[in-house]
Amino acid sequence: MSILYCNCTYAKVVPVEVKRDVLRRLSDSGRAFDAVADLCDMSARKDPALKKIAEGGCTQIAACYPRAVKWLFHAAGTPLPDAGVTVLNMREDSADDVVKELLA
């Protein structure tokens, strides 16, 4: 199982207190993870790093709406596997809820 955190750096659509709280707890958790500055930016650039994430067995993604994340990966030509990936929504859910799922 691996974890991906999206910082949504290029636009402030994810509440800053939620993303910071999630990052802090992830950082303190002793768990391994990958963090990207902005998945939207990576999708726009068709960044090959998305391929390694999609194919590397990433199972938990903390970002925003699952529909957006799914089609952002698809748009980059590196679709996520159909099953086994959970996208947690920092735009809508509380940091507590996201972290509970993320570190479960």
Partner 1 sequence: MSRTEGKNLRVVLYEGPGSTPLADDDRFAALAALLDNGFEVTRPVAGQHVAPADDAPVLVLGLLDPLDTPPEVAPGQEVHFRNLADGDLLEAARAVREATGARKLEAWKPWFPVIDYDRCTNCMQCLTFCLFDVYGVDKQQQITVQNQDNCKTDCPACSRVCPEVAILFPKYGKGPINGDVVRAEDIQREAMKVDISTLLGGDLYGALRSRQKDARKRFSTERDESKALLERKRCLGKLKKDLDIPDEVLMTLPSAEDIEERAARARAKLAKRQAISQTVKDTRPAPSETEWGI
Q: The tokens of 88 are what?
A: 């947690």
Radius of gyration of the chain (CA): 12
Q: Does 90 bind partner 1 (CB under 8 A)?
A: no
Distance CA 28, CA 26 (A): 5
Distance CA 19, CA 53 (A): 20
Q: How far is the CB of 104 from ligand SF4 (least distance, A)?
A: 20
Q: How far is the CB of 73 from ligand SF4 (least distance, A)?
A: 9
| Binding characters for ligand SF4, 39-68, by CB under 6 A (x = yes) | xx----------------------xx---x
Residue 22: phi and psi, rounded to 5, are: -65, -45
Contacts with partner 1 by CB under 8 A lie at 1-2, 4, 7, 9-11, 13, 20, 23-24, 27-28, 30-38, 40-49, 51-53, 55-58, 64-69, 71-72, 74-75, 91-92
